[in-house]
Structure 1
């Protein structure tokens, strides 16, 4: 579960290194975000030579979470880190590559562009 003040790693090559969640976007009164949810983040660490700057506020999608994710068939997935992908206003990822494993349930949430950029799909 991702809540405000949670630090996340970046799973793409957009130029950011560390993110901090500010709030969950979308409907619902639950303050926790899960895999596939939009969150508002602030960039805490970034490369100096990219378009993204430190302390910039942007939107991201959660792609990996330390909390267990249970599938319909009963298998449980758990990652070692919390990770997100930065997106622009149209919903496209800012980076051109996605690092690490991505779950295939993101296809059900209509994030096919992120899945097509990923190296490994679980």
Structure 2
């Protein structure tokens, strides 16, 4: 579970390396975010000449891996070694990734949650 001020690794090729969670989306008093949730974050570490403007430093991210256990419907549990996210843009209730590659395996549940366009980037599926 991630909360405000949590630091995440970015696992796509958008240019950001580390982000800090500003706000967990999904309610006014929501404290924690899990795999598959959207968060508002700021870029803390990036590649050279990326995210130079102030508006670009505040981004929206989708959490794809956490160290906290994730329970599947068949009562199996999945745990990742670090907290990871990918940067996304939200337009007309559709989520579009900012990068064009993902460097970690994605859960198969993302297609059930409405993130089918992530699988067009051809990541490994868990």
Q: TM-score, normalised by structure 2?
A: 0.89
Which secondary structure does the structure 2 equivalent of 1:106 belong to?
helix
For residue 71 of structure 2, what is the aligned residue in structure 1? 70
Which secondary structure does the structure 1 equivalent of 2:80 belong to?
coil
Q: Distance in 2 between matches of 1:38 and 1:47?
A: 23
Which secondary structure does the structure 1 equivalent of 2:118 belong to?
helix
4+ residue segments displaced more than 4 Å = none
C-alpha distance after superposition, 1:46-100 (max 9, x if no partner):
01143x3387111011000100001111111000011111011322000000111
Q: Distance in 1 between matches of 2:74 and 2:29?
A: 28
Which secondary structure does the structure 1 equivalent of 2:60 belong to?
strand
**Would the alpha carbon gap of residues 107 and 28 (structure 1) be closer, same or farther in structure 2, given more than 3 Å must change?**
farther
For residue 103 of structure 1, what is the aligned residue in structure 2? 107
Q: Distance in 2 between matches of 1:118 and 1:7?
A: 26
Q: Distance in 2 between matches of 1:18 and 1:54?
A: 17
Structure 2 unaligned spans of 5+: none
For residue 45 of structure 1, what is the aligned residue in structure 2? 45
Mean Cα displacement is larger for which, 14-23 or 106-115?
106-115
For residue 14 of structure 1, what is the aligned residue in structure 2? 14
1:60–1:86 CA contact under 8 A, matched in 2:
yes
Which secondary structure does the structure 2 equivalent of 1:73 belong to?
coil
Q: Distance in 2 between matches of 1:98 and 1:118?
A: 8
1:26 offset after TM fit, Å? 2.1
Root-mean-square deviation over aligned CA pairs? 1.6
1:43–1:54 CA contact under 8 A, matched in 2:
no
**Would the alpha carbon gap of residues 54 and 45 (structure 1) be closer, same or farther in structure 2, given more than 3 Å must change?**
farther
For residue 27 of structure 2, what is the aligned residue in structure 1? 27
